[in-house]
């Protein structure tokens, strides 16, 4: 079975390559690159990628697929459908399922459900501690053997530096990166948005940037001491960025990711002011809808200075990856008081649009860097062999993007079971138009 | 959502203009006379329904709104619901839609979470009056305080007003700061460092904040406190004495006893000694100072009994004007026109 993704513009920063090139795929693997005019085998099925960008499949290293346990929010099948529609050929679900993914049986179950769905690859992230309760270490070795690619207690970050130190010492034996959602809950508990001017205006309890900064600094010191690779999830503060930049300069094994919502929105979205990052002289202000629970997530949308620091870090390489933190919640759960609504928004289907609007079109980064952030680097961080590149011999996960397609995202059209995105009705230029997983067409727009 | 019957929501003071605030106060002045009649009832809102939707216990505010509605001949019903809609398995949206289906003209809502009145206003056909939402706003309290001040000082512009106590958790403080500064008073706040936001000046500098869109520098942590308010009408004082010195009005906030357990201050005794309003501290204010307290008072803690029972204290006037102001608000919310003096 041969497939030719023909006449596209290949962007493969791991190769590195950035040129017009057709990609030949056989039995799920890339076998050759063909320059324009080079003869293709005439028995290959042809996907015409003229005018389109062809990139190694995007890998979202931070999602919540809710299965097992909260299938009313999302299933692995519905989450994977949303993933491929958003251009992500691989996703890494966090372990905060019910039961928690703290053992090999759950890890295997997630992978099997993904295989049944037959859409995106699922690489589970196992728990650091049993039930993610921060006390006893989970069976990391067994989870790794079952297919887990990293460990994290995500939304319930390990509060004890002592346990975290042991977790890092132990994870190193298995080559597992430790991913931390950095939040010192003694500083942030009860908070529902960024602590600052807007929380003051709205009378909502704030979560100070300090709560993130302190935990990031702790983790960096532990990474330095243990030599374990620490990956900081959804970094959102200027202080965290500065600490990570310093640590990288010192050669400490630290990487980090940013979410599209954190590089797009500020805390003023909670007051109903719709804005997008810098250089946007045309701040869009809709009808003011304050206290929209789809602006509530952890870490919270931060203020302008933090967003500026994130953009700078995306530009200078301090930030390694873009990850969505796709966090589906049922409408019933979000239709509550702002204080009581759960944290989190969906993100799989809007990420590329936001990256184009806020990063590419505004000149923050170029296309190569975008592919690095969404594919090459996540593959490297998680040690995914044969992914994050389309060099001959690699696995044929391919994301095909139309950089000029203008489209409008609608929650109602989302493939996710949940519709909790603040970007409902936003218009983007740039979209995934096809996704191939191991050479098989998983999505076509 | 279309709101055929709605003229006006009162969600907070923050979004009102000085003219709108004065319009409400002038309308309230006109209703004062009703309270002095032998038969305290006018037919202004006959046939209208007012629902008091109380997610939070409050005898005083509920009674005040209920009396206000009844004096205008509206039908008033009180609906007390447990503190959260979640505990009933119902969403806030369900609660709002159910209530709305009973076709009230006006819903008065009090809730422990900020923003609930705004969320209800989005889906309800009735006019929404905020009777206190979390730590956000309590607009009718600020209006009745303003009415009390106007009565005794004949003006608000140029007055020095001290607000003392738990600022950070106080919707009363927040609404009063908005109202008083919009009408040109100078407000000084003081309280324990744990209970006064360090950058409180930003509360009244929204325009400044909006102008900053797109500017890269000037981060929030770089602004020294006191420089960012712009108008200079709001000052955070390091000591209670500094706030009270020269004040025309001293507003004392209620201390919630549970704050002690959350380590905001060590003991009520220490609070009373260092932050309580005593005769000695009040001596720093102008001779004709007036003292306000939103109630209920913790005597001997945030306010000494000597002060509370003195002629300077206008706490009972506040309660009286509470009914009047709420009559005006209900009248305007259900379609009445502003009465100009």
Same domain, B287 and B155: yes
Q: How confident is the model at residue A283 (pLDDT cuts 50, 70, 90)?
A: very low
The whole-number pLDDT of residue B208 equals 37
C-alpha–C-alpha distance, residues A278 and B52, integer Å: 44
Which residues in chain B are closer than 8 Å to A203, comparing Cβ atoms? 114-115, 133-137, 171, 174
Distance of alpha carbon A344 from alpha carbon A97, whole angstroms: 15
Question: Would you say the C-alpha torsion B192, B194, B196, B198 has a positive or negative sign?
Answer: positive
What value does the CA radius of gyration of chain B take, rounded to a whole number of Å? 20
Contact between chains at B136 and A203 (C-beta distance less than 8 A): yes
Q: Do B220 and A303 touch (CB under 8 A)?
A: yes
What CA–CA distance (Å, rounded) separates A188 from A313? Answer: 24
* Cβ–Cβ below 8 Å for A335 and B92: yes
For B115, the closest of A283, A291, A304 (CB atoms) is: A291
Given a cut of 90, is residue A276 above it in pLDDT?
no
- Shared-domain flag, residues B160 and B287: yes
- Are B92 and A336 an interchain contact pair (Cβ–Cβ within 8 Å)? yes
- Please indicate whether, in this complex, the C-beta atoms of A308 and B213 are within 8 angstroms of each other: no
Decide: B110 and B133 in contact? Cβ < 8 Å: yes
Residues on chain B touching A196 (C-beta within 8 angstroms): 199, 220
Predicted local confidence at residue B135, as pLDDT: 94
Pair (B184, B194) in one structural domain: yes
The per-residue pLDDT for B341 is 58
| Residue labelled with tokens 């630290």 | A254
Q: At what angle do helices B92-101 and B116-123 cross, to 10 degrees?
A: 50
- Which residues from B are below 8 Å from A200, CB to CB? 197, 199-200, 202-203
Q: Per the CB < 8 Å rule, is A303 touching B111?
A: no
Contact between residue B171 and residue B209 where contact means Cβ atoms under 8 Å apart: no
Residues B213, A283: C-beta atoms closer than 8 Å: yes
Contact status, residue B106 vs residue B127, Cβ threshold 8 Å? yes
Mutation target to probe the A interface, by most A beta carbons within 10 A, among B115, B116, B122, B216 is B115
Residues B64 and B204 in one domain: no
Other residues' Cβ atoms within 10 Å of the Cβ of residue A407: 15
Report pLDDT for A228: 98
Is the same domain home to B24 and B76? Answer: yes
Report how far apart the first and last C-alpha atoms of chain A are (Å, whole number).
23
At A322-359, the pLDDT tens digits run 999 999 999 999 999 999 999 999 999 999 999 999 99
Maximum CA pair distance of chain A? 67
> Which residue on chain A is closest to B170 by alpha carbon?
A203
Q: Which residues contact A408 (CB under 8 A, 6 or more apart)?
A: A425, A426, A427, A428
Residues B252 and B326 in one domain: no
pLDDT attached to residue B87? 60
Asked if residue B10 belongs to a domain, the reply is no
Q: What's the pTM?
A: 0.92
A98-134 pLDDT tens trace: 999 999 999 999 999 999 999 999 999 999 999 999 9
User: Nearest-CA distance from B95 to chain A in Å?
Assistant: 10
- Is residue A138 within 8 Å of A151, Cβ to Cβ? yes
Residue in the structure block whose two tokens are 């050479």: A439
pLDDT at B216: 35
Check B92 against A283: CB less than 8 A apart.
no
Chain B residues close to A335, C-beta within 8 Å: 91-94
pLDDT for B83: 53
A8 lies within 8 A of chain B by CB = no
- Whichever domain contains B183, its CATH number is 3.40.50.1370
pLDDT tens digit sequence for A45-90:
999 999 999 999 999 999 999 999 999 999 999 999 999 999 999 9
Domain count, chain B: 2
Is B66 part of a structural domain of the chain?
A: yes
Higher pLDDT, A399 or B90: A399
Find how far residue B238's CA is from the centre of its chain. 24
Residue A7 has pLDDT above 60, yes or no: yes
A404 inside 8 A of chain B by CB: no
* pLDDT reading at A368 higher than 50: yes
For chain B, the three-class secondary structure string (H helix, E strand, C coil) is CCCCCCCCCECCCCCCCHHHHHHHHHHHHHHHHHHCCCCCCCCCCCCCEEEEEECCCCHHHHHHHHHHHHHCCCEEEEEECCCCCHHHCCCHHHHHHHHHHCCCCEEEEEECCCCHHHHHHHHCCCEEEEEEECCCECHHHHHHHHHHHHHHHCCCCCCEEEEECCCCCCHHHHHHHHHHHHCCCEEEEECCCCCCCCCHHHHHCHHHHHHCCCCCCCCHHHCCCCCCCCCCCEEECCCHHHHHCCCCEEEECCCCCHHHHCCCCCCHHHHHHHHCECHHHHCCCCCCCEEECCCCCCECCCECHHHHCCCCECHHHHHHHHHHHHHHHHHHHCCCCCCCC
The residues pairing with B186 across neighbouring beta strands, listed in sequence order, are B160
Say whether both B192 and B299 belong to one domain: yes
- SS3 for A272-331, per residue? CCCCCCCCCCCCCCCCCCCCCHHHCCCCCCCCHHHHHHHHHHHHHCCCCEECCCECCCCH
**Which residue among A205, A281, A291 places its CB closest to the CB of B214?**
A281
Q: Determine the Cα–Cα distance for residues B19 and B25; give it in Å rounded to an integer.
A: 10
Is residue B7 in some structural domain? no
Which chain B residue is nearest to residue A311, measuring alpha carbons?
B216
Q: Kindly state whether residues B324 and B289 are assigned to the same domain.
A: no
> Are the C-beta atoms of residues A283 and B214 closer than 8 Å to each other?
yes
Looking at residue B58, its pLDDT comes to 82
Which pLDDT score, from 0 to 100, does residue B142 have?
98
User: How confident is chain B (341 residues) per 10-residue block, as mean pLDDT?
Assistant: 58 94 94 88 93 88 95 91 62 84 93 94 92 96 98 97 96 97 97 92 64 37 38 91 98 87 89 96 98 94 96 96 96 81 58
CB contact residues (below 8 A), chain A span 263-292, against chain B: 268, 273, 275, 278-281, 283, 289-291
Mean pLDDT confidence for A226-240 = 98
Q: Which of A238, A275, A335 sits opposite B213 (nearest CB)?
A: A275
Interface of chain B against chain A, CB under 8 Å? 14, 84-86, 91-94, 111-116, 118-119, 122, 133-137, 171, 174, 197, 199-200, 202-203, 205-206, 209-210, 212-216, 219-221
B31 and B79 both lie in a single domain: yes
Q: Which domain holds residue B111?
A: 18-136+320-333
How far apart, in whole angstroms, are the C-alpha atoms of residue A375 and residue A89?
Answer: 10
Residues 232-251 of A with CB under 8 A from B: 238
Helices A161-173, A209-226: crossing angle, 10 deg rounding: 50
Q: Tell me if chain B has a CB within 8 Å of the CB of A332.
A: yes
The pLDDT of residue A121 is 98
Give the residue on B whose Cα is nearest the Cα of A279: B214
Chain A residues with CB under 8 Å of B200 CB are: 200
B265 occurs within a structural domain = yes
Residues B191 and B65 in one domain: no
A308 Cβ neighbours under 8 A, 6+ residues apart: A238, A278, B216
Residue in B135, B169, B198, B209 to test binding to A, most A beta-carbons within 10 Å: B209
Q: Hey, where are the domains in chain A?
A: 57-388
Which of A184, A325, A397, A402 is catalytic? The answer is A325
Q: Which CATH class is domain A57-388?
A: alpha beta
Measured CA to CA in angstroms, residue A100 lies from A94, A326, A399 at distances of 9, 17, 31
> Which residue's structure tokens are 């030599």?
A227
A325 belongs to the catalytic site: yes
In a domain, residue B11? The reply is no
The secondary structure of A421-445, three-state, reads CCCCCCEEEEEEEEEEECCEEEEEC
Residues B190 and B301 in one domain: yes
Q: Residue B85: what pLDDT? A: 53
Q: Please classify residue B216 by burial: count the beta carbons closer than 10 Å to its beta carbon, then call 0-12 exposed, 13-18 middle and 19+ buried.
A: middle
- Please indicate, yes or no, whether residues B120 and B258 belong to a single structural domain of this protein: no
Q: Which residue of B has its CA nearest to A271?
A: B115
């Amino acid at each position: 079975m041969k497939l030719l993704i023909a006449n596209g513009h290949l962007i493969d920063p791991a190769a590195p390559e950035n040129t017009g090139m057709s990609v030949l795929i056989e039995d799920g693997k890339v076998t050759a690159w063909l320059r324009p005019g080079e003869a293709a085998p005439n028995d290959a099925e042809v996907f015409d990628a003229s005018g389109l960008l062809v990139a190694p499949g995007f890998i979202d290293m931070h999602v919540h697929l809710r299965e097992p346990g909260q299938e009313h929010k999302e299933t692995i099948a519905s989450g994977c459908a949303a993933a491929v529609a958003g251009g992500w050929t691989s996703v890494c679900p966090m372990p905060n399922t019910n039961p928690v993914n703290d053992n090999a049986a759950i890890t295997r179950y997630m992978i099997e459900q993904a295989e049944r769905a037959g859409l995106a690859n699922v690489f589970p992230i196992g728990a650091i501690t049993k039930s993610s309760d921060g006390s006893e270490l989970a069976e990391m070795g067994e989870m790794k053997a079952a297919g887990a690619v990293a460990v994290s207690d995500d939304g319930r970050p390990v509060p004890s530096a002592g346990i975290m130190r042991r977790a890092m010492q132990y994870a190193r034996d298995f080559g597992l990166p430790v991913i931390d959602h950095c939040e010192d809950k003694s500083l942030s508990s009860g908070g529902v948005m960024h602590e600052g001017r807007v929380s003051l205006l709205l009378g909502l309890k704030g979560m100070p940037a300090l709560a993130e900064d302190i935990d990031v600094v702790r983790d960096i010191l532990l990474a330095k001491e243990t030599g374990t690779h620490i990956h900081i999830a959804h970094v959102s503060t200027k202080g965290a960025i500065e600490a990570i930049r310093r640590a990288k300069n010192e050669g400490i094994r630290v990487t980090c990711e940013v979410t599209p919502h954190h590089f797009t929105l500020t805390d003023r979205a909670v007051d109903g002011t719709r804005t997008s990052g810098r250089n946007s002289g045309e701040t869009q202000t809709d009808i003011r809808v304050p206290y929209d629970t789809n602006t509530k997530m952890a870490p919270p949308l931060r203020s302008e200075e933090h967003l500026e620091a994130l953009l700078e870090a995306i530009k200078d390489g301090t930030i390694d990856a873009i990850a969505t933190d796709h966090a589906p919640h049922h409408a019933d759960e979000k239709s509550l008081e702002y204080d009581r609504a759960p944290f989190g928004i969906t993100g799989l289907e809007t990420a590329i649009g936001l990256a184009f609007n806020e990063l590419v079109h505004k000149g923050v980064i170029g296309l190569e860097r975008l592919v690095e952030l969404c594919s090459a680097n996540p593959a490297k961080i998680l040690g995914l062999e044969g992914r994050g590149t389309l060099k001959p011999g690699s696995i044929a996960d391919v994301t095909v993007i139309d950089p000029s397609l203008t489209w409008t995202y609608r929650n109602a059209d989302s493939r996710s079971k949940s519709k909790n995105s603040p970007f409902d009705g936003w218009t983007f230029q740039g979209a995934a138009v096809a996704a191939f997983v191991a050479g098989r067409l998983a999505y076509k727009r | 959502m279309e709101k055929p019957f709605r003229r006006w929501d009162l969600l907070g003071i923050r979004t009102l203009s000085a003219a709108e605030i004065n319009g409400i106060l002038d309308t309230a002045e006109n209703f004062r006379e009703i309270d002095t009649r032998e038969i305290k009832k006018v037919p202004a809102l006959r046939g209208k329904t007012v629902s008091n939707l109380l997610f939070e216990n409050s005898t005083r505010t509920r009674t005040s709104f209920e009396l206000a509605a009844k004096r205008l001949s509206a039908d008033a019903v009180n609906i007390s619901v447990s503190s959260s809609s979640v505990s009933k398995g119902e969403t806030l949206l369900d609660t709002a839609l159910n209530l709305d289906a009973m076709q009230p003209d006006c819903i008065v809502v009090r809730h422990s979470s900020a923003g609930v009145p705004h969320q209800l206003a989005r889906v309800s056909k009735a006019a929404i009056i905020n009777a206190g939402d979390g730590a956000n706003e309590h607009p009718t309290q600020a209006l009745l305080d303003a009415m009390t001040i106007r009565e005794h000082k004949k003006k608000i512009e140029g007055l020095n007003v001290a607000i003392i106590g738990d600022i950070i958790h106080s919707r009363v403080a927040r609404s009063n700061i908005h109202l008083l500064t919009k009408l040109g008073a100078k407000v000084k706040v003081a309280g324990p460092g744990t209970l006064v936001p360090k950058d409180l000046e930003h509360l009244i500098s929204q325009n400044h904040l909006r102008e900053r869109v797109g500017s890269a520098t000037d981060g929030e942590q770089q602004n020294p406190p006191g420089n960012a308010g712009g108008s200079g009408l709001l000052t955070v004082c390091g000591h209670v004495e500094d706030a009270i010195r020269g004040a025309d009005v001293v507003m004392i906030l209620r201390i919630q006893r549970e704050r002690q357990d959350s380590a905001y201050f060590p003991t009520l005794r220490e609070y009373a000694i260092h932050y309580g309003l005593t005769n000695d501290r009040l001596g720093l204010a102008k001779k004709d100072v007036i003292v306000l307290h939103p109630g209920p008072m913790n005597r001997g803690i945030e306010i000494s009994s000597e002060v509370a029972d003195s002629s300077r204290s206008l706490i009972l006037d506040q309660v009286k004007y509470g009914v009047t102001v709420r009559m005006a608000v209900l009248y305007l919310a259900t379609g009445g026109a502003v009465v100009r003096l």
